[in-house]
Structure formats: C-alpha cells, structure tokens
Amino acid sequence: MAKKKIFFSWERYAATKCISAVIANTAKSNIVLTFTSIKPFTNCVYGEFSVTGTAKTVDSRTLDYANNTVTVHVTAAYANGNTCNLVYNPPNKGATVTIAVTNNVA
C-alpha cells in the first residue's frame, strides 16, 4: 500500500492553530502570535515576515516553545489606532498567510 502524501497548509494552520495575534501596550514594538504549537516555525527567519496596514519594518523574530509564541519585533512602536496585519511568506512551503493583529495600545 502506497503512503499518502500529506501536504501542510499554512492557511489552514493559521486558521485553526492561531489563538491570538496582539500588540500589547507594554511592548508596542512587538507583535505576539500565540499558537497551539509553533513547531512549523522552527526554521523561519524574520525576513519571511512583513506588516501591512500601518506598515513597519520587521527586524527580528523570537520563538518561545514553552509558551507557543512567535514574537515579531518591528523597528518603530505602534500607537493607539494603528491597524496592521502580519504577513508570513514561507519559502517553498505554500501560500502566503495574512493574520489580522489586534492592537491593544492605549
């Protein structure tokens, strides 16, 4: 019996595994994504992320496996009322994924 190939879908992953995407008042330059697991992001680099809406330049990313968070740091802080979406463009792994971000900056 031949093995079935299982294709990973970033769109499905983001839709079903992303718990939240937030900019907190205490860290206005960080977009924090919380997932049920961040294992698919193991080899990602910050250059694969971009921000649309109130666009900012991404300069780093941090993976926290204990808390299942991906933190994307931008070069300029967000202000109250700014809106943005985080875009992840995985190389050779499927389509670009856009995740809406909640801005909690007061």
Give the mean pLDDT per block of 10 residues along the chain (106 residues). 70 94 97 96 94 95 97 97 95 84 95
Task: Fold for 10-103, please state it.
Answer: Immunoglobulin-like (2.60.40)
What global pTM score does this model have? 0.90
pLDDT of amino acid 3: 64
Residue boundaries of the structural domains of the chain = 10-103
DSSP 8-state assignment for residue 76? S
